[in-house]
A and B are shown apart, each in its own frame.
Chain A
Amino acid sequence: MGLSLAGFGRPIVGTDESVAPADDALLARVALGDQAAFRLLAERHVKRALAIAQRTLGNAADAEEVVQEAMLKVWTHAGEWHPRGARFSTWLYRVVVNLALDRVRRPRAAAGGEAMDHVADPAPGPGDHAEGAEIRRAINAALGEMPERQRMAVVLCYFEDLSCAEAARVMDVSVSTMESLLVRGRRSLRGKLTAAGLALDGGTE
C-alpha cells in the first residue's frame, strides 16, 4: 500500500510501489501545500544537510537551526523552484551553505575580523564516537582557520563525498575552480593537522 498524500488522496508512489517519487515530483506537491511530500523530502535530505552545516559551523545546535531555516525556505519557496537540469539536493545544500556561512561571518564581523575560533566546538556531540572525537575536534579547529571557500570545498568534496561538479554547483563556481580550492584546501588541512601534532602519515617516511 502506498503512502497517502494529505489533501490529494493519491498514492505518494507511482503504480510501481518500489519506485520512490523523484525529488522534483515531491517538490511540486510541496508547492501545493502537501505536508506528507514535504516530510518525505526532509527525511531524504535532512541528515546530509545537517552534516554539511555541522562541519561548516562546528557545532550541532547551530547546524540544526540552519537546516530548519533551510527547510522553511523549501516550504515557502517550493513553487518558485524550477529544476532546469539542477538537482533539488544541490539547491538545498546551497541554501544550507549560505545560511551557515552567514552565521560564521556574523560574529566575526561583530568582533572586528577576529580569527574564527568560534567555529570549532571542542565539546563532542552526542553522536561523536570516542574513536574519532579527538581528530574531529582537530579538524573542526583546522577548518575554522581556513579561508571560507577552501573550507567549503574540503567539507563538501572530502568529508561529504560530493563530486567536484556538484560541489561546484552548490558553491556557484566552475569545476576547475572547485578542483583548485579542494587541492589547496586539503594541503592546508594537512599542514594544520600536522602542526597540531596529529600523525597523518602513519609513520611513513
Chain B
Amino acid sequence: MKRKRFLHLLDLEGSDVSRWPTEDRAAALALMARSPDARRAHARAVAEDLALAPARRSAVSSDSVARVMAAVARIPEQAARSMPVEPDEPTWRWRPSLVWLAASAVFGVVVGAYLERPAPSAADIGSLLTATLSSGIFGS
C-alpha cells in the first residue's frame, strides 16, 4: 500500500484499521510496521478521533425530541383541516345556462318558422318581434 492510499483511508474510514475494508487491512498494518511516517499519521488520526469524540455524540436533547413528537402527533389533524373543501352542490353553475338554452331554442323555432315564408314584410317582422317578446324568454 502506498502512503497516499493509506492517508486516503484514514480520512475515509477513520483511525480504527479493524473497520477498514478487509482487503486493505493487512497492507495497512504492513505499511505501518515499516514506515514511521505512516505510524505518525495513524497516531494523529487516533488523537483526532479522540478529540472529536465528544462532538460526535448526539447533541439532540430529549426536550427537542419531545417537542417534535408532540408536533408529529398533531400532524394528521392539521393535515385534515388544511384539505381543500369541495362545494356541496355546484348546481348554481349550470342553472342559468339551462334557462338560456331553452330561450335560444324557442327563439330559433320562431325565427325558423318565419324564414320558411318568402320575403317577410315589415308587418311580418313586427309580428315576429311581438311573438318573441310574448314568449317570455326575456323574463316577465
A residues at B contact (CB < 8 Å): 33, 35, 38-39, 42-43, 46-47, 50-51, 54-55, 60, 63-64, 67-68, 71-72, 75-76, 125-129, 131-132, 135-136, 139, 158-159, 161, 164, 179, 182-183, 186-187, 190, 198-205
Can you give 21 A-B contacts (C-beta < 8 A)?
Answer: A39-B69, A39-B73, A47-B65, A50-B64, A50-B68, A54-B60, A60-B61, A64-B68, A71-B72, A75-B76, A127-B58, A129-B54, A131-B54, A132-B55, A136-B54, A136-B59, A158-B56, A159-B56, A182-B12, A199-B51, A203-B47
Interface membership of chain B positions 41-63, coded 1 if the CB is closer than 8 angstroms to chain A and 0 otherwise: 00110011011101111111111
Q: Contact residue range for chain B?
A: 20 to 34
Q: How far is the CA of A60 from the CA of B63 in the complex (A)?
A: 10
- Find chain A residues with CB under 8 A from B51 CB: 135, 198-200, 202
- Find chain B residues with CB under 8 A from A182 CB: 11-12
B8 interfacial contact with A, CB 8 Å: yes
Interface SS of B by simple majority: helix
Q: How far is the CA of A64 from the CA of B63 in the complex (A)?
A: 11
- Find chain B residues with CB under 8 A from A64 CB: 64, 67-68, 71
Q: Is the CB of B11 within 8 A of A68?
A: no
B25 interfacial contact with A, CB 8 Å: no
- Find chain B residues with CB under 8 A from A72 CB: 75, 78-79
- Find chain B residues with CB under 8 A from A43 CB: 69
Q: Is the CB of B72 within 8 A of A200?
A: no
Q: How far is the CA of A39 from the CA of B57 in the complex (A)?
A: 25
In the assembled complex, the CB of A142 is this many whole angstroms from the nearest CB of chain B, namely: 11
Interface centre among A38, A132, A203 (most CB of B within 10 A): A132
Q: How far is the CA of A43 from the CA of B14 in the complex (A)?
A: 30
Interface membership of chain B positions 11-38, coded 1 if the CB is closer than 8 angstroms to chain A and 0 otherwise: 1101000000000000000000000000
With CB as the reference atom, state the residue of chain A lying closest to B70: A68
Known: A135-B51, A183-B8, A183-B11. A51 touches B76 (CB 8 A): no
- Find chain A residues with CB under 8 A from B47 CB: 200-204
Q: Is the CB of B54 within 8 A of A179?
A: no
Q: How far is the CA of A75 from the CA of B56 in the complex (A)?
A: 30
